Structure 1
Amino acid sequence: MNTAFRRLSLRSRLGLAAAVSVALAVTAVAIASWLVTRQQLTGQLDSNLRNVEASPRYVQELLSLCGRELPDAGQRTETPTPYVVQVVTSDGTVCAAPGSPKLAVDDTDIAVARGVLRSVMHDAGTQDGRKVRVWTTRPDSHPGTPGQYAVSIAQSLSTVDDPLNHLALFLLGIAGVGVIGAATAGLGISRAGLRPVQDLTDAAEHIAHTQDLTVRIPVDGEDEIARLSKSFNDMTEALASSQELQQQLIADAGHELRTPLTSLRANIQLLIRSHTSGRKIPEDAMNDLLRSVESQVGELAVLTADLQELSRPDTKPGRASLPVLALHEVASRALERVRHRGSEIEFTSELDEWYVLSDPAALERAVVNLLDNAVKFSPPGAVVSLQLHDGRLTVRDQGPGIPADELPHVFDRFWRSQTARSLPGSGLGLAIVAKAVQQAGGTVTLRPAPAQGTEAVICIPGTRTPPPSTRPEDAGVAAGTDTTCPPVPSS
């Protein structure tokens, strides 16, 4: 049954559920109405029977008939209508009027006749098969009526059963109409209510078949369906943006790989021709050729590593899941790594304590990339400074600087300024910096230095004091007073 129900469409299941719910509710109301009506009618009948009294003379006539031959038709004692009256003696003898149907006597009636019970009300049957309601009572002593006896007064239950039968048929009809109406309304409402879901299904199937992520669902209202439609649109928009970025990354990577691969292939072909022809390349030219091959292989290795770093999915700053880092220690390690690459550059550093939540490798690589850029664009003998004050990490060089019109593009993937195209690099370094800082919940900006060169500023929320433990939930960076990242002052 459950399996068959699950095979139905959602629309059919909702309609069936509505029909079943209404059927149960209508059935419960119908049964309750029938029982209440039955109780009221039976109570009214009982009240009527209690108010009926047989006259002492009539009771004497009935008692006189017990054990006697039936009188002829002209002498028959008439029974008051619409009631049936009979007398029950203590030995169970029934005294009834001639022509009047006798009532079935049970032990309670005899108990009333013997004085054990004062009165009793019950259902009984007659000799002709009718059902009656019987009120048996032991009246006060009547003169001339010796012995123990009880008087039973009965009325047909048809006054109760006939209205109840009509009521049952009426309620059954109402229930049937209600169930059919509920099923029809349920199907109609479910069809209207599930129309947006059907639109979502059609859109999802269309995207699955065509890979077209430009499909959007109209959003109308602010209910759950509208929220679902909006979430679907946001999802497809995010997927389209991700697909566009992926395609752009592949195109840019192919463009950047083309130059070193072309140069590398030309050098290798030159080596192959020299080997196959037996014509040796001069030693100086051979050394230059090998150094060029080594440089191009290194450039490809760096580019591959940068692409792997950027190919990781972007995640929002999940600060609670990141470890606590001492940013001043990370910056110091990065400075030592870069110091060996810039032997002709003077480095200065002033690092105050600052603790943040971030990925250690990603954050250190971001600082290294900024320092590498500073070294790359600084002339021999220049000074590269690294400062960390009030949660703001600043890398400043004395290079030519970046034109104002190029500053908005410095963090784009594969973007390189005109002055840097002749220098080694893939154009991915600053993009990696931006990604690492954003994942740590911070910001990074580049701007002209106050005097000369370029100034890069990283700002990550944190705290000046070391946390009591390495757990993020106990660290000040997670719930401290120093977590606000100070604004970058204008130059």
Structure 2
Amino acid sequence: MRAHARWRRRRPLRTRLALACTAAVAVVALGISAAAFSIVRYELNHQLDQHLTQQATLVQQQHRDQGPQVVYGECNYLAAPACAQIVSADPGKPPNEPYLLPVTQTTRQVANRQRAGYFTDLTIGGHPARMLTTPMIAAPPGARQAVQVALRADSVQEGVRQAGALMAAVAAAGLLLAAVLGRTVARTALAPVARLTRTAEQIADTRDAGLRIDLPPGRREDELTRLAGSFNTMLGELEQSVAAQRRLVADASHELRTPLTALRTNAELLSRADRLTEGQRERAAAALHRQLREVTGLVNDLIELARDEEPQPLLEQVAVGRLVGHCVDTARGHWPAIAFTLDDDADSYADGAAGHGAAERTVPGVPARLARLVSNLLDNAAKFSPPGATVEVRLTAGLELTVRDHGPGIAPEDLPYVFDRFYRASAARALPGSGLGLAMARQIAHAHGATLTAEAAPGGGALFRLRLPG
């Protein structure tokens, strides 16, 4: 069993499939040939047995009142009529001449009605023959006799041999055809797998994720073709992922180049602190600390963006209303020049759903990550709002959070890209930030099963809409 398993592992799939198809067709061909041979042999023997039965009936009708005797003489000639004899159940009653056919104790039992008639294969004069022994129905009164009738079986055996040879030839042709069909079926069925393998090997050699499996037009949607199509889809996703990673690395390198250059400049400046005045040293040190914070924040944001899903052990039921209220309070401290208003629709919802307001609704999530999502939306709204403007925050009973500012809004050409990494509209390039806040917000929303969209607010400004699950 182990050797067979090792042999199967070493054989290619195409070979195993070809052997399986060949074996299946071969079994069918051999089975049909064997069945046909059995039917032909049975019919030939059955016809011979029917002839013997007819001859036995004829002997009984012609010699019903006669004693033991040999009715027909010779059985040595193929074209001769059946040789027949009447045998008495009493061995003491001899026939008119010696019996030509063998008489045994079983023959006496048939004559004595102790057993039924039977057929026997025997050899007479060096030739094959078949004999029927049956009770004599129309025997003389008080006599118990049996009739034995024999016929040469050369023609039957020759017919059986010819049928066997023909069936063997048919079986051999079936085996050959099975091998050809098995190889053809394996090659045709595994053609998509072969193309998939070649494409995978070529991708491994060239590291080119843009390669695809060529699928013939108007193809049938079978399992292997669907597998090849799914593999092409997977390659497309892989290509997009690789391109996104390369773009992230390139964008991160570009964004890090400026602060790192400034850090190096300030570090070199502080290395010559003995040549600077006290004020210059303080300004250089403050700039160095500020740039370190920016670089640290940028690196932390990149780490957060590199994580595609939330750690399951950190999930808990988060009260959405309280979390949004805390984030709004924090934003008021960070942006004192901006007014933040919060409407959570708690009172209106309490009348319609078992007394639970939006502030009491909970969703499964990571509190710190959800707080980061809401804070990023509030910071983005505050950053684009002029001093003294209002940022309107509203949480509905259906767990939909909207953040609306009264700034310049989002240009239609920028709207499809506001959630891309490092994307900064022309109006935002002069403002502080790395262009990762909204990308991170959308990733956190996606990881929590929520949707985050941006749109132009009626009357000016931008409106961000977060729909939480549940």
Structure-2-length-normalised TM-score: 0.83
> Aligned letter for 1:193?
A
Look up the match of 1:180. Answer: 176
Deviation at 1:147, TM superposition (A): 5.5
Q: Secondary structure at the match of 1:424?
A: coil
Matched, 1:349 2:342: yes
Cα 1:82–1:445, aligned 2, differ >3 Å: closer, same or farther?
same
Name the counterpart of 1:151. 147
Question: How many angstroms does 1:127 deviate by?
Answer: 5.4
Partner AA of 1:35 in structure 2: S
Q: Residues 445 and 149 from structure 1, CA distance in 2 versus in 1: closer, same or farther, beyond 3 angstroms? A: closer
Is 1:303 aligned with 2:298?
yes
Q: One-letter code of the match for 1:125?
A: L
Q: Work out whether residues 81 and 151 of structure 2, in 8 Å CA contact, stay in contact via their aligned partners in 1.
A: yes
Give the C-alpha shift of residue 58 in structure 1: 10
Q: Return closer, same or farther for 1:6/1:405 CA change in 2, 3 Å cut-off.
A: closer
1:17-59 deviation digits (Å, cap 9, x = unpaired): 2221122112222222233333333332222222223343996
Match of 1:123 in 2: 120
- Aligned to 2:422, the other structure's residue is in SS state coil
Give the drift of 1:97: 8.1
Aligned residue pairs total 438
Q: 1:371 is matched by which residue type in structure 2? A: L
Provide Cα deviations, 1:287-321, integer angstroms capped at 9, x if missing partner. Answer: 22221111111111110111011112479xxx9x9
The residue aligned with 2:349 is none
Write the mapping of 1:27-176 to structure 2, written as runs, cut at 5 A.
27-52=30-55, 53-54=58-59, 55-56=62-63, 60=67, 62=69, 78-79=73-74, 81-92=80-91, 102-117=100-115, 119-126=116-123, 128-129=125-126, 130-142=128-140, 148-176=144-172
Unmatched 5+ residue regions in structure 1? 66-76, 463-476, 478-491
Q: Is the 8 A contact 1:42 1:160 kept in 2?
A: yes
- For the residues of structure 1 that align with 2:302 and 2:277, how far apart are their CA atoms? 37
Please tell me the residue identity of whatever aligns with 1:395: V
Change (3 A) 1:51 1:19: same
TM-superposition CA deviations, 1:85-142 (whole Å, max 9, x none)? 2343335579678798x3333433111223424x512214245453423233224234
TM-score by length of structure 1 reads: 0.79
Distance 1:96 1:13 in 2: 70
- Distance (whole Å) between structure 1 residues aligned to residue 22 and residue 93 of structure 2: 55
Provide the rounded CA distance (Å) in 2 between the counterparts of 1:57 and 1:205.
91
The amino acid of 2:177's aligned partner reads: G
> Could you say what secondary structure the match of 1:437 adopts?
helix
Letter in 1 for 2:341: T
2:226 aligns with 227
CA apart distance, 1:261: 0.6
Report the counterpart of residue 388 of structure 2 in structure 1. 381
Q: Indicate the SS of the match to 2:402.
A: strand
**Whole-angstrom CA distance in 2 between matches of 1:106 and 1:99:** 14
Decide whether the 8 Å contact of 1:437 with 1:444 is kept in 2: yes
Paired letter, 1:206: Q
1:257 partnered with 2:265:
no
User: Is the Cα–Cα contact under 8 Å of residues 119 and 131 in structure 2 kept in the other structure?
Assistant: yes
Q: Report the identity percentage.
A: 35
Name the SS of the counterpart of 1:340 in structure 2: helix
| 1:217 maps to 2:213 | yes
**1:236 counterpart = 2:235:** yes
Structure 2 SS opposite 1:226: helix
**How many angstroms apart in 1 are the aligned matches of 2:241 and 2:46?**
78
| CA distance in structure 2 between the partners assigned to 1:241 and 1:359 by the alignment | 28
Partner residue, 2:348: none
* Closer, same or farther: CA 325–91 of 1 in aligned 2, 3 Å: farther
Q: 2:415 is aligned with what amino acid? A: L
Q: Which residue of 2 aligns with 1:20?
A: 23
Question: 2:96, 2:277 → 1: CA distance?
Answer: 149
Corresponding position of 2:285: 290
Go from structure 1 to structure 2 and tell me whether the alpha carbon gap of 1:341 and 1:446 turns closer, same or farther (over 3 Å shift): same
Paired with 2:233 and 2:30, the residues of 1 have a C-alpha distance of 47
Report the CA distance between 1:2 and its aligned residue.
4.3
Offset at residue 152 of structure 1 (A): 1.2
Q: Deviations over 1:349-374 (max 9, x none)?
A: 11131555655443321111011122
State the one-letter code of the partner of 1:328: G
Match of 2:370 in 1: 363
Work out which of the residue numbers 309, 322, 329 in structure 2 matches 1:329.
322
- Is contact 1:79–1:85 with CA below 8 Å preserved after alignment? no
- Is this contact kept in 1: 2:323–2:371, CA < 8 A? yes
The Cα shift of 1:434 comes to 1.9
